[in-house]
Each structure stands twice: as C-alpha cells, then as structure tokens.
Structure 1
Amino acid sequence: MTFTSYGFLFAFLPIVVAGYHLIRRYLPTGLAIGWLVLASLVFYASDTPQHVIVLVCSVLGNFLVVRLMAARPVDSPGRRALLIVGVVANLLLLGAYKYSGFLVDNINAVFGTSLPGVAARAPIGLSFYTFIQIGFLLYAYLAQGDRPTLLRYALFGTFFPYVTAGPIVRPDEVFGQIENPDRDRTLGTRIVLGTTMFVIGLFKKAVLADNIAPYATTLFTTASGHDAIGAGNAWVGMLAYTLQLYFDFSGYSDMAIGLAYMLGFRLPVNFNSPLRATNIVDFWRRWHITMTRFFTDYVYTPLATKLMRRSMSGGHSAALRVLLVLCLPVLVTFLLVGLWHGAGWGFVLWGAFQGVAMAVNLVWRELATAHPRLPRIPSPVGWLLTMVAFVSSLTFFQAPDLRTAWALLTAMYGFGPSGVPVGDFYGRSNLFDVVTVVPALVWVALLLAVALLPRNSQQLLERYEVALPTAAEERKPSRLALTWQPTLRWSVVIGLAAAIALVFAGGPSPFLYYRF
C-alpha cells in the first residue's frame, strides 16, 4: 500500500483520520497515540508483513538504549558507551540488509573467493527510520528534553507519513506535537489545508512523474542492451529521468506534509524547488533538505571543525588548509551520502561526483571572497552548469551497472560508439524515433516549466504554515505569483487536480525513494 493506491486513499486514510480525531476528542490522549501507532504498523506491514518485525525491533531496541542512557549521568563513560553501542547496532542492522551483499560480491571479486551472497530484500524505509533513531540517540545523549514513554517513542519511530521515505525528523520537531498537536485552527481547516497539500503531491506523482517515467525507462532499458544511443536521445531520456525523480520525490514530500497536517502535525519541509538553484551548494540546500541537514550536523561539521583545528595548529599552507577544511570534509560527506542511497559503485561515483562539484563551488566562493575583482558567474550560467552537472551525475545514480552508466554519459557528450557522431540525434538505436521524440520533448518542456516558473507548494500555502520552515527562502518571486485561498475558484482547481490524479493513481507505482 502506498499513498497513491486506492486502498490507501479510500479506506485507510479516511478511517485513520476520522478515528484519530474522534478518539482524541472523546478518549484519553494515550489511546489516540496508540491508534496512530497501530495505523502506522498496519500501513508498513501492508507491503511486506515480515519487515514490520524489523521496524518494531529497531524501535524497541533504540528505546531501551535511550532509557538506559537516561539512568546515567551526563558525560559519564557508561552513557557514552551506550550511545556507541546504540549507533553501531543501528548501522549494523542497516549494513546487514543493504550492504552485506555488496561487500561479499567485492570480496569475491578481489580475492577470488566464493563466499555466498546475501539475497535479503531491505525493508522499505530502513535508511530513513534508522537515521531518525540514530538522531534520537544523539539527541538523548546530550540530555535534551524529557524521557519519552514507549508509546510516544513508538509513534516517533513509526509514524506512517514519514516512515517509508522521510523526512528525517528530529525529536524536537515531533515530540512536542505528540503531546500538543496543532490546535490553532479548527479541524475542518486542518483537513482542508492538509488535503490541499496532499492533492498537490498526488498530482505531481500520479500525473507528472508517472507519465514521464516511460521515456526514462526506455532510455535505461535501451542503454543496458548496449544499443548505440545518440546524444540527443541520451539527453532527452536523462532529462526525463531527472524530472521523474524530481516530481516523484517532491510529490511524496508534499503528501507526507499533507497527511501529517490532517492529523494536527507539522513536518519539516524536505523539498524546495531545487531545480531553481544556481549553484550546487544551493541545490543541496533544497533537495532532500532533512538528509542534507543530518549529514551536515553529524558528519560534515564535526569533521570540518576537527580538520580546521588541526590545520591551524599544524602551520599548514593556505592551499593545504583549503583542501583539508573545505574539500576533504565535503567529499567524505557526499561519499557517505552516495552509499546511504544504495550499495553499489554507481552510488559511490555519484556521491563522489557531488562531493567534487561541491568542493569546486566552495573553493570558487573562497577565491571570489579573497579576490573581489574575479568575474562573477551570471545566474543563468550558474543554473545551466548546475543542471548539466546534476543530470550527468544521475547516469551513475540510476543505471543498473557502471558499463551502462558510462555508455550513457559518453553518449550525452558525443563520445559514444563509433559511427554515432555528435550531431546524430537518434544514433543507431530505436530509443526515440521521429514520432515518439515529439511527446517526449513536450513532456520534458512542460515539466521543466512547472519546476521553474510557478510558485511551489510551500509558497502556495505560505500564509498557513502547514510545514516547519526548514527550507531556504526564495530570493526572487516566481514569475507566476499565486497564493492559495479558501475560495470557490481554488476549490474547483484543487478538485479538478484531485479528479485527474485519481484517474492516474491506483496502479503499482511505488515511489522511487522506496528503493533507498
């Protein structure tokens, strides 16, 4: 069951929302929280029932560590040891499912051994709820906040709007709301605002992402068959995949916020028009914001701080300090970001690509600050460079193997197989012929315009604050300035969007981030 399935839309969601608000109004708060925990476990178990055991064990194990830490003084060796045990246990659980097969395959390849592979399917959302609970362990270690009860912690660890694909929430963003959900507005207003946000996300996923997906799928299928692809076809297919990923994840993020708000919770913004970014640093402040925040807080900042201190005390040259303090931390961080997304050399190379791009961007900023006379990169040029770099890197992110990724990347820049010149749009494959390329180009142009021109979902509802404001603010107003209002006109627009989305929803179309 996913957010786009008819079972979720017409049975699960109305029952859960109505049941929660009825229990919350007439019965003790604990029963309402218990209702959401039960609903979240049912939702999670609907995909693969056996994996709900992994989720429950993860929640119970982390809760036990938190309680044991709370019984020890701050900064005591025992408290620190428990933190280390808890974090390592979480990482081992993550590694056992996601990385053990990758590790065994590489050991066999390097040493010529024949260790048996691991074929266990990773539970959906494992990376997300593992990092959410690691974050809580670190939060609890610093003695911030009160000790939660098991019921409240269970809701924090299993809440169905974010358990499968984020956002990666912080304890201080959720626990206060568990005790005191949003009561600033009437129930009817919360339902209307939450439904509006949910419908916007549903439309992005079911209508936009899923309808451009076949062009991306065709590209990777053709490339994996080692057909010679022309540069034009490669770019059309890669832009199609980029926009599919964009609207798929943006749609999920909107739906998660909308679902939570129907229940009186505000989740952090996780997506803020990243394709409008004019440099790669700004891009990662907008794409998967809570993941970037997690790695910044727990990997990049501690590493950069430690290297800064060592550099200052070691008398290193200015160039070496730049490499140590700016480049190395961001490269290490994005290598881990790549591995977080999946076990494979494609993800490692994708992460390295992002890390190098970030390092170049940061070094250029330092040079521009030190030398004000250096020419500034115009925003349109910066946007184009960011788009080209990100779209190119996605060949490694999505391709089934490195050979396919390299074939796509070389085709995009006219260095593909002999006999396929740079100007040959189609190449020797039947990827997009003269007929099918037209709708592909129309979809790419349409979705690119939607991503770049109108106000995004957060801006449409900005005066109502349905989400926690973690996203970077837009520096310039969008060209099509719109703001949602509780009017008949907007009711018709959202109702029409819902009707169209429901026509396309209901099929087996899981979110792309479920695989991470």
Structure 2
Amino acid sequence: MLFYSFEFIYLFFPICLTGYFLLGKRSKRLSIIWLVLCSLFFYGWWNPKYVPFLIGSLVCNYYFGLLLNSSRKKSFLYLGVTLNLLLIGYYKYAGFFTSIFNDISGNSYNLGEIILPLGISFFTFQQIAWLVDSYKGRVSEKEKGIWEYGLFVTFFPQLIAGPIVHHAEMMPQFHEKNSQWLNWDNMAAGLTIFVIGLAKKVVIADSIAPYANKIFDAALNTSQQISAGEAWLGAITYSMQLYFDFSGYADMAIGLALMCNIRLPINFDSPYKSLSIAEFWRRWHITLSRFLRDYIYIPLGGSRIGEKKRYMNLLFTMLIGGLWHGAGWTFVLWGGLHGIFLIVHRLWSKTNIRLPEFVAHLLTFICVVVAWVFFRAENFASASKILIAMIDFQSFSCCSVLKIEEMTDALKYVVPIIVVVFFLPNTQNIMNNWPGGLRVYQNPFRVARVFLFSYQPTLLWSCAIIILSATSLFLLLDQSNIQEFIYFQF
C-alpha cells in the first residue's frame, strides 16, 4: 500500500487515525496496540508472508535490548548486531557475494530467488540503533514494553523508507499528555505537509521520470548512441526525479506522523543548495548520514586518529553507505565516489581558499549529478556510456534517443524544476513560522522568514492546498504513469 494509493488515502489512513484517537480517549496502551496492528497490516499489504519475518525480528531484538539494558555486556551487543547483519546480509547481499565468488572461483553456485523483504535496510538499522541505545542505558523504563517497542519499529509513516529514528526520539511522544487526542493544529499542518509531499511525488517526480528512464534504458543498448545533451538531460532529470521522489516521501511521512501528533526528525533539507559535498551529506538522508557517522565512522576512530586514517574511515564509511543502498557494483562505486569527494573536500578546506558561492554550488551539484549516474545505471557499462557521452561536447546538440519535441518538452519541465530547487523555500521554510508545523527546524540559509510562502491557516492557503491535492489526485487516476518510491527498493 503506497501513501498515494486510493486505498491508503480514502480507507486505511482515515480508519487508522479514527481508531487511534477514539481508543486514545480510553487508554494510551490500546491506541498504541491499534497503531501496531495497523502498521503490520500496512506492511503486509505488499507481501503478507513477510509479516511473521518482521515480527520475529522485532521480538528477538526487543529481548536482546532488555538483556543489554540489564547486563551491559559487550558480547551480547556484538551478538545482537551480528545476527541483524547476517539477516540483512542473506536477504540483500547473498546473491551479490555469491556472484563475486563464482566469478573468482569459476563455480556456478545458485541460491535461487531470494525475495527482499520490504524496508529491511531501514528497520534493521533502526533496531541496531536500539541495541546500542539499550547497551548505553538510554531507554526509559516506561517505554520498554513490547507494544511500545513494536510501534517504534513498525510505525507505518517511517517503516518502509525512513527516517531511521532513535527510540528516545519517538516513543516519549506517545506518552505525552493528550498525545492521543485530536489536535487540529497538527492535523492542519500535517495535512498541508502531506499534500506538498504528494505533489512533489506525483506532479513533479513521476512527470520527469519517463525522460530519465528512456535515456538510461538506451544506455543498455550497445548499438544505441547517446549525445552529450541527452546524457546531461538524463542525468539531471534523474537527479531531479530522485530529489522530489525522496523529498516527497519525507514530507508525506512527516505529515502523516504529525497528524498522529508525532514529530519525526527531518530527513531531507534542500541538499542541492549545498556549498560542499560534506554539507550535501548533512542534508541528504540526514538520519542515514547520522547512523553512518555514529555507528561506523566514529567507532572506527573518526577524525581522532590522524589524517590518513581519517581519510580511510571516510572512504570505508561511504562504501558501506553505497552498499547499504543496493547489492551491486554501481552502488559501491557511487559510495566510493562520494568518499573520494569528501576526502578532496577535506584536503581543499586545508588550503583556506574559499570559492565564490555560485562556483561552490555549481561544483557540488555537478559532482552529485555525476555520481547519481552510477546510482541509477543498471551496470557499469551503461554508466560509463552516459558519462563518456557527457564529455563529448561535439554531439551536444544532436538527438539520438529523444526526438526534438521530446527534448523540448523535457526542458519545459527541467528548467522550472531547477528554479524551484535552487530559489524557492522548501517545506521546512514554508512551515517554520506556524506553531503546528516543523518548529524544530533551523534555517541555515540566513533567510529567517519567507513571508510570501509562509503557511497560515487562511482561505488562500486552503484554496492552494485543495488545488494541489486535486491536481495530484487527478494525475493518480492514470496509474500507468505512477511509480513506486525509489527508496522502496533499498
């Protein structure tokens, strides 16, 4: 069940929210149990046979956490983390590593088809964080119940594609006074954020996806030529598709949770406005970056053990980040490329030479776009074909894959989208001044207020949201143009 499916919008979420608030008047525990059951139903909509898998993982990690909280033995922590990694390793990476072994040894082992459980990377990393927090004694006594833990893992707005949250970030909110009572401020703000996210996904991301798909599919055909203009168009349209696909999901997740009176951490903060690759990673998939920093980079020694080892730690962490996204060499290369970018940024920062902001923006964006080619490509050969075409400027104005009309139509989408990305406020900017919105947000761009776009519960804003939601729902009628969230595959 997708956030933008009619089943979710018109049936699941209204029923879930109504039951949550009605039961909340009687008992917090009943409302928590209700949300857990609804979340398991939401997860089982895709493949019911993996619901027992999720419950088994949840129960085992819960009791490991209780054991760690009482004993504080590192051996139990290592065992719990190892079991989680073995589980995700089998489902997500067994086929990949088997193919590597076959290539090296000349064997032909075949593990058969292994169906990847939806969201396994997210709920596994989240439970590893729970084990570490339990070991360090960061879990409150009143939030240690099995149903509370079940909600922490399965809460449907963030179950499939994040954000990756800490137990202490979410669970205390369910125990706040009146947290299970209807809050109209949160409902209004949450619905607004959800509709903005829905429009990002349906109106923008899915509208430009066909252009990127056509060019990347052409790269798989060895006889098909790709011009420089088409290669750059494919890379940029995919960059924008991924941006609005993931940003749209993040907004919808935050909006849905806020309607339940829960504030999820911000996971996406205008990353293409970054002045450096390091800043990009503080803004793109913020909770994943935090996890990689806290549980891989810092335990390896971080920056405390000398510059050379720091660079190795950076590269290793980003390789793990790439592999986390997918079991394939293109993801490893994507992560490694970002690791190299971070090392170069670190070396450059030592020179104390500051680039003009426009140059820094442009250089960072180009690096990110080039790296996305590996992220999107099916294999190294097709990625190389697009990257080589991108530097063949003699063929820039040629059209081999797209017709002239298609190129023109694509540019009509891309140019306004680039303006939106670089010059308009993001969702956090829009909601920052409304008390029911994202008050935790701090604006890093020295634009304290955006009066023209600031959300207020006015007739004008109501009309704007109605028009935005009606447009999105109209486009949803043609399901052939709608695609799953890109991050669902991770």
Letter in 2 for 1:207: V
Distance 1:332 1:43, change over 3 A: same
1:231/1:424 contact within 8 Å kept:
yes
Task: Report the Cα offset of residue 324 of structure 1.
Answer: 2.2
Counterpart Cα distance in 2 of 1:146 and 1:215: 50
In the other structure, the counterpart of 1:88 is 82
After superposition, where does 1:102-501 map in structure 2 within 5 Å?
Answer: 102-147=96-141, 148-180=144-176, 183=179, 187-226=183-222, 227-305=224-302, 308-309=304-305, 321-325=306-310, 327-368=311-352, 374=353, 376-414=354-392, 422-426=394-398, 429=400, 431-463=401-433, 464=435, 466-467=437-438, 469=440, 473-476=444-447, 481-501=452-472
1:271/1:289 contact within 8 Å kept:
yes
Letter in 2 for 1:449: V
Letter in 1 for 2:17: V
Task: Report the Cα offset of residue 185 of structure 1.
Answer: 9.4
Task: Report the Cα offset of residue 434 of structure 1.
Answer: 1.2
Counterpart Cα distance in 2 of 1:480 and 1:434: 40
Task: Report the Cα offset of residue 236 of structure 1.
Answer: 0.7
Task: Report the Cα offset of residue 412 of structure 1.
Answer: 0.8
Farther off after superposition, 180-189 or 262-271: 180-189
Give structure 2 stretches of 5+ with no counterpart. Answer: none
Counterpart Cα distance in 2 of 1:155 and 1:183: 15
Task: Report the Cα offset of residue 223 of structure 1.
Answer: 0.9
In the other structure, the counterpart of 2:33 is 34
What is the DSSP-based 3-state SS (H/G/I as helix, E as strand, rest coil) of the residue aligned with 1:367? coil
What is the DSSP-based 3-state SS (H/G/I as helix, E as strand, rest coil) of the residue aligned with 1:303? coil
What is the DSSP-based 3-state SS (H/G/I as helix, E as strand, rest coil) of the residue aligned with 1:302? coil
CA deviation profile, 1:41-89 (whole Å, cap 9, x unmatched)? 00000011112122111101100101222332x4xxxx21111111001
Farther off after superposition, 277-286 or 459-468: 459-468
In the other structure, the counterpart of 1:49 is 48
In the other structure, the counterpart of 1:12 is 12
2:24/2:181 contact within 8 Å kept:
no
In the other structure, the counterpart of 1:512 is 486
CA deviation profile, 1:68-112 (whole Å, cap 9, x unmatched)? 22332x4xxxx2111111100110111111100000011001110
In the other structure, the counterpart of 1:314 is none
RMSD: 1.9
What is the DSSP-based 3-state SS (H/G/I as helix, E as strand, rest coil) of the residue aligned with 1:285? helix
What is the DSSP-based 3-state SS (H/G/I as helix, E as strand, rest coil) of the residue aligned with 1:258? helix
**Is 1:62 the counterpart of 2:47 in the alignment?**
no
Counterpart Cα distance in 1 of 2:422 and 2:294: 29
Counterpart Cα distance in 1 of 2:449 and 2:228: 32
Task: Report the Cα offset of residue 342 of structure 1.
Answer: 0.4
In the alignment of these two chains, the number of paired residues is: 483
Identity %: 38
Letter in 1 for 2:476: A
Letter in 2 for 1:323: K
Letter in 2 for 1:339: L
In the other structure, the counterpart of 2:2 is 2
1:62/1:133 contact within 8 Å kept:
yes
Distance 1:108 1:381, change over 3 A: same
Counterpart Cα distance in 2 of 1:179 and 1:454: 37
Counterpart Cα distance in 1 of 2:239 and 2:108: 38
User: What TM-score does the superposition give when structure 2 sets the normalisation length?
Assistant: 0.95
Give structure 1 stretches of 5+ with no counterpart. Answer: 310-320, 369-373, 415-420
Letter in 1 for 2:423: L
Distance 1:182 1:120, change over 3 A: farther
CA deviation profile, 1:483-512 (whole Å, cap 9, x unmatched)? 000100111011110111111226352100
Counterpart Cα distance in 1 of 2:404 and 2:35: 52
CA deviation profile, 1:230-255 (whole Å, cap 9, x unmatched)? 00011011111000000000000000
CA deviation profile, 1:199-256 (whole Å, cap 9, x unmatched)? 0000000110000110011011111112110000110111110000000000000000
CA deviation profile, 1:435-471 (whole Å, cap 9, x unmatched)? 1100101111111111111111111111236447377
1:454/1:479 contact within 8 Å kept:
no
2:430/2:450 contact within 8 Å kept:
no
Counterpart Cα distance in 1 of 2:154 and 2:122: 11
Distance 1:142 1:233, change over 3 A: same
2:431/2:438 contact within 8 Å kept:
no
CA deviation profile, 1:254-274 (whole Å, cap 9, x unmatched)? 000000011110000000011
Task: Report the Cα offset of residue 423 of structure 1.
Answer: 3.6
What is the DSSP-based 3-state SS (H/G/I as helix, E as strand, rest coil) of the residue aligned with 1:426? coil
CA deviation profile, 1:417-440 (whole Å, cap 9, x unmatched)? xxxx6244335x3x2221110010
In the other structure, the counterpart of 1:98 is 92
User: What TM-score does the superposition give when structure 1 sets the normalisation length?
Assistant: 0.90
Counterpart Cα distance in 1 of 2:123 and 2:442: 21
In the other structure, the counterpart of 1:417 is none
Task: Report the Cα offset of residue 178 of structure 1.
Answer: 2.0
Distance 1:468 1:461, change over 3 A: closer
What is the DSSP-based 3-state SS (H/G/I as helix, E as strand, rest coil) of the residue aligned with 1:224? coil
